[in-house]
Structure 1
Amino acid sequence: MKKYLVLIPARKGSQRLPGKNMKMLGDLPLVGHSISYALKSGFYDIFVTTNDPDIVQYSSKRNVKVINRPDALAGNEEPILTAVQHAVASVEKGYDAVILLQPTNPLRPKSLLRKAIEVFEYENVESLMTVSRNEHKLGTITDNRFIPYNYKMGQRSQDLEPLYFENGLIYIVSTKLLKKGSLLGNTNYPLIVDHPFSEIDIDTESDFEKAEMYYEFYKENNSD
């Protein structure tokens, strides 16, 4: 099995939902859900990269290693790639790949990470990301006219060409690829996830409220 570094990027300074990475979803903050998921999946080389003192304190209490991210690498316009590269360069041990778990995707199927690793290794790819099917009839609006984009008027939904969206649940990236300056390689495997958790990506208060509903439903029904 390859050596994996589990990385949780959790900067401060969200504009649309201030303090979101420490916002409580159930009995854990968002960053805590990704930490717990990694631990329950059997990983212990878990690092949180952050410039938020509250997240540093919380992560330390969870016995998770912290990488102090410079503010210059934590701005709203800064790509996640630079934070990941900084984190990899900061650790002492050598790793074959990085597992990226974003706090804004706190709900994940229990077995998804193990499945992702199996596929990543079996397919021998540079990177892997989780995707989900988009079954909406999409279109553009020009001069107050709706113009279908991925279908023809009257076409049945079940006859649409399959399209997929990047759901953000899990990314796996080889460290060799990161050194080349990329998160997604030419051999990037799209792992399809057919689960309602793929709909949760928290950027706004309404996103968070939806996550709360999903969290309570699956907790009460004791299901994955």
Structure 2
Amino acid sequence: MAFSVLIPARMASSRLPDKPLADIAGLPMVVRVAQQALRSKANRVVVAADDERIVQACKHHDIEVILTRSDHPSGSDRLAEACSLLGLDDGAIVVNVQGDEPLIDPSAIDAAATLLQQRSDCSMSTLAHPLDNIEDFQNPNVVKVVLDAQSTALYFSRAPISWWRDGFADGITQLPQPHPLRHVGLYAYRVGFLRAFPKMSQAPIEITESLEQLRAIWHGHRIAVHVTTTSPGPGVDTPEDLDRVRAIFERKS
């Protein structure tokens, strides 16, 4: 199976300025992410940067990188430009690995790519895992997903879904059964869909939930979901997250 990994990396971050270059055990975070992706079965790993400083950091550590425009409204737009710059065919598969996931599991990358290759009926694939605590079930920053019988996404939400009939009577004191699923923000796309996606109109449900993947469902595209048994390593959104990840690398060294 042939597929590429694209890692969008942008310097502007309101919660953690210059995030791609944040030092993690002696290496910039974006380099750590690329090194993890290179352990997957991808035939190519490319960072799509919006700043020359990211480009130079990647080149210094022998990571393939391209410079994209700095005015893209979303990561999907940046990836679409990257596909054009790299000359990828519409039928090619690319996996979007976020540039703030230095602990991404390489096998998760492979799983997303393999699933999309198997599901010709789907334009995208992604990952999920069972939730095991009430706090995450209630947390709007933890996105939930419900599936159909073919493990295709029916809906993504920040709300606690799926919800049992009598849940409102008792409040959230326990998790419903079977366990609800947490969405993991790693995606595989066919390049033709990725080029078309930024041109699609925003969906009302996308605006309400602030979840870009709902645009695909609203426009009739299907998203295949691979359910893993374990949760992913922590990503980096805040200085506290960065401290947590640095501590994990220190324990591993």
Smaller-chain TM-score bracket: 0.7 to 0.9
1:162-181 pair list within 5 angstroms: 162-168=179-185, 170-181=186-197
Question: Who is 1:29 aligned against?
Answer: 28
Aligned-residue offset at 1:156: 5.6
Equivalent residue for 1:113, pick from 98, 104, 109: 109
Question: Who is 2:246 aligned against?
Answer: 212
Is the alpha carbon distance of 1:157 and 1:34 closer, same or farther for their aligned partners in structure 2, counting shifts above 3 Å? Answer: same
Quick one: distance in 2 between partners of 1:58 and 1:13? 16
1:125-164 pair list within 5 angstroms: 125-134=122-131, 135-136=133-134, 138=138, 150=163, 151-152=167-168, 153=170, 157-160=174-177, 162-164=179-181
User: Per-residue displacement from partner, 1:126-184 (whole Å, max 9, x unpaired)?
Assistant: 211122333425389xxxxxxx984342776254564333322x210111211321665
Aligned-residue offset at 1:122: 2.2
Quick one: distance in 2 between partners of 1:139 and 1:107? 22
Residue 107 (structure 2) pairs with residue 91 (structure 1): no
SS in 2 for 1:197: coil
Residue 198 (structure 2) pairs with residue 187 (structure 1): no
Question: Who is 1:15 aligned against?
Answer: 14
Contact 2:88–2:191 (CA<8 Å) still a contact in 1?
no
- Runs of at least 5 residues in structure 2 that lack an aligned partner in the other structure: 141-159, 199-212
Aligned-residue offset at 1:93: 4.3
Quick one: distance in 2 between partners of 1:59 and 1:16? 23
Quick one: distance in 1 between partners of 2:236 and 2:182? 15
**Structure 1 stretch 155-164 or stretch 91-100: which is displaced more?**
155-164
Amino acid at match of 1:201: G
Quick one: distance in 2 between partners of 1:167 and 1:208? 19
SS in 1 for 2:129: strand
Normalised TM-score (structure 1): 0.77
- Runs of at least 5 residues in structure 1 that lack an aligned partner in the other structure: 141-147
SS in 1 for 2:57: helix
> Percent same amino acid at aligned positions?
20
- Number of residue pairs aligned between Structure 1 and Structure 2: 205
Quick one: distance in 2 between partners of 1:127 and 1:139? 25
Equivalent residue for 2:119, pick from 123, 127, 142: 123
Aligned-residue offset at 1:123: 2.8
Normalised TM-score (structure 2): 0.69
Contact 2:124–2:188 (CA<8 Å) still a contact in 1?
yes
Structure 1 stretches of 4+ with a deviation exceeding 4 A read: 182-185
Is the alpha carbon distance of 1:177 and 1:156 closer, same or farther for their aligned partners in structure 2, counting shifts above 3 Å? Answer: same
**Structure 1 stretch 52-61 or stretch 177-186: which is displaced more?**
177-186
Is the alpha carbon distance of 1:31 and 1:157 closer, same or farther for their aligned partners in structure 2, counting shifts above 3 Å? Answer: same
Is the alpha carbon distance of 1:5 and 1:196 closer, same or farther for their aligned partners in structure 2, counting shifts above 3 Å? Answer: closer
CA RMSD of aligned residues (A): 2.8
